[in-house]
Structure 1
């Protein structure tokens, strides 16, 4: 497909709304997914750390 002007390129042959929303949503997902994974990882590590501390406390209290 050839465009004669930047306006034609951004109009995408009448499909601009669909095309640019698709690009935007894809970019948003590509940004948010690593952030969500990092937050879940941090939450899991914190929970495991608390479980280890609780286990150590129970073992010391039992003696």
Structure 2
């Protein structure tokens, strides 16, 4: 089920544990930030991703839908 593509920018680098928390999403580094992007099917999943980032203690710089 496709959704809206989102880009999440977080401060610093994600640990292996952090990376494994987002299966199916692309993770890349653009120092000093890490970019996580992928399809988000609904608001519940969006809020779940943000909650997971908070639980990992990661500072979210931005979260935005990607046009296209």
TM over 0.5: no
Task: Flag the structure with higher helix content.
Answer: 1
* TM-score normalised by structure 1 residue count: 0.28
Select the structure of larger CA radius of gyration: 1
Task: Flag the structure with higher strand content.
Answer: 2
* TM-score normalised by structure 2 residue count: 0.27
